[in-house]
Structure 1
C-alpha cells in the first residue's frame, strides 16, 4: 500500500492530519504529515498506532504483503 493510500484511508474516515498527530503524541500536525508524505518513516510503534487509529492492519499499511513470497523464491 502506498503512502497516498494512507492519506486516502484517513480522508475517507474523515480524520484530519491534526487529529492523527494529536493521537500519536506529536506537538504539530507536520509530525504526522511528514510520515504521510514519505519524508519520515514511522517507527514500528508509531506504525502500529496509525494502523490502530485507522482500524487497518499494520502489515497492509506499511509492509510489502509479498515479502514472504519473495523470501521463499530467493531461498529456493
Structure 2
C-alpha cells in the first residue's frame, strides 16, 4: 500500500489553485519561512521535496486539505 510520501504531488493542480486565489509565489514563500521566493518556486517546479510541515502550511494558505495535492 502506498503512503502519502510515495505519491506524487500534482503541482499543476496546486499552481492552478494558487493562481485562482490570486496568491503569489513570493507570498507563499514568506509564509512557509523561505528567505527568497525561489524557495517555493523550486517546490512548484518539483526540484525540491515538500516536507510534511511545509505541506500543512501550504494547505492552510490554499484553503484545502493536503490530500488534495495528490488528486
Asked if these proteins are the same fold (TM beyond 0.5), I'd say yes
Matched, 1:6 2:41: no
Asked which structure has the greater RCO (Cα within 8 Å, sep 6+), the reply is 2
CA RMSD of aligned residues (A): 1.3
Aligned residues: 63
> Structure 1: how far apart are the matches of 2:44 and 2:14?
7
Q: Which has the higher helix share?
A: 1
**Normalised by the size of structure 1, how large is the TM-score?**
0.77
Larger Rg: 1
2:24 aligned partner: 16
Post-superposition offset of 1:55: 0.5
Runs (4+) of structure 1 moved beyond 6 Å? Answer: none
Superposition map of 1:30-41 within 5 A: 30-41=38-49
Return 5+ residue gaps in structure 2 as ranges.
Answer: 1-8
TM-score by length of 2: 0.82
